[in-house]
Amino acid sequence: MFYYIDEYHRKNKSVAKNIAKIVYDIEFQLLQAELEDLYKKLNFDSPGTKAFEDALYSFLVQEETFSTIKAY
């Protein structure tokens, strides 16, 4: 039986692995909880979702910044 793995498979696997590593990080969870509390106090729509998005974005940018620095 032949299985086709598209050209983005390895990259997508790597991204998924990095996101899982971030989401289970205690610092990520603390930041997400802190943001969610803040967003609830500020009456944001969907504070839990927004807090998750913002915490994930912040960790992804931080990781990207560190990889760029390591490249030099």
Q: Give the whole-angstrom CA distance, residue 38 versus residue 66.
A: 27
Sequence-separated (6 or more) residues with CB below 8 Å from residue 22: 28, 56, 59, 60, 63
Q: Give the whole-angstrom CA distance, residue 35 versus residue 4.
A: 41
Task: Give pTM, 2 decimals.
Answer: 0.79
- Structural domain that includes position 31: 22-71
Question: How many independent structural domains does the chain possess?
Answer: 1
Burial class (CB in 10 A: 0-12, 13-18, 19+), 44: middle
In this prediction, residues 48-58 reach a mean pLDDT of: 97
pLDDT value at residue 24 = 97
Is 60 within the bounds of a domain?
yes
Higher pLDDT, 44 or 5: 44
Q: What is the pLDDT of residues 10-39, one digit of tens each?
A: 888 988 999 999 999 999 999 999 999 999
Q: Amino acid identity of 55? A: A
Is 1 within the bounds of a domain?
no
